[in-house]
Amino acid sequence: MADTPTYDEPANMAASYAYVYRNDYRLYPDNPPLVKILAGLSLLPIAGKMNFPSQLPIYNDPTQFDLYKFGTEFLYRSGNPTREIIFLSRLPNIIITVLLGLSLYLIATKLYGPKAGLLALFLFSFDPNIRGHDHILAFDIPLAFLSLLAFYLIYQFIKLPEKRGLFGLLLAFAFAAGYLTKFTFIFVALILIVYALWSVIKLDNNKIKNSFFLLIVTCLMPFFLLWFFAISTNYHKITLDYDKLPIIASANKLYKNNSTWNLISKL
């Protein structure tokens, strides 16, 4: 936790504050807002004594907008308690890391026994990727936690038909949280859904109909939850045209003839 913030953490920290206390979602739209909202909520003990330098042109002037420079101004040059902001905004990810390790141990123990649980926890604890991301404001650890949770829930959804409704509901919330954490969660969801469909097809004919119905509802419900979140938080309202920002316009001009860039931009 004493590490110097990574290059994008100040911008994420400024965005976290703006999301929760200013209802302003313009900063750092590259990833969905859930992790930044949690980080913003963790700033509650010091929110009253924080200054948000909204008067700066790099924040309020679209022609000069620069979220990285603004993050630096917010964290270091606005009279804010830098150390407290760094610690508190990182705290949710630290807690999620602990939950991830505990969940990994419990799931591995339940599926394969205590030795497997300890081995999984050992490998988790010394994995360089985990050690590098477990104490910073980033999106990878929450993504890993929700991916593991979704896997376990879909496993239970298939294994326990008498509780399929309950696990389907929990899975829908896990999917919604995953979509709100990182855009790439969609690939995790697709893999799990294909796995679930394949497993359902192997069921007896009299069980397939109900299982398919529950699976379809489970797949559709997260999008209703996302819609509800967007409407209730005004997250769906775009207040900046990012294509016209200098850094984006420059990148678009540089890569406009690049077929890979064009494909990614369309996605």
- Has residue 103 got a pLDDT over 80? yes
Task: Output the CA–CA distances (angstroms, integers) from residue 164 to 111, 150, 196, 207, in the order listed.
Answer: 19, 14, 12, 11
User: 55-65 b/e with 16+ CB inside 10 Å = b?
Assistant: ebebbeeeeeb
Query: How much is the pLDDT for 39?
Result: 96
Q: Where are the domains of the chain?
A: 139-236
Taking only the tens place, the pLDDT of each residue in 67-84 is: 899 999 999 999 999 999
Higher pLDDT, 15 or 28: 15
Predicted model pTM: 0.83
Confidence of residue 1 (pLDDT cuts 50, 70, 90): very low
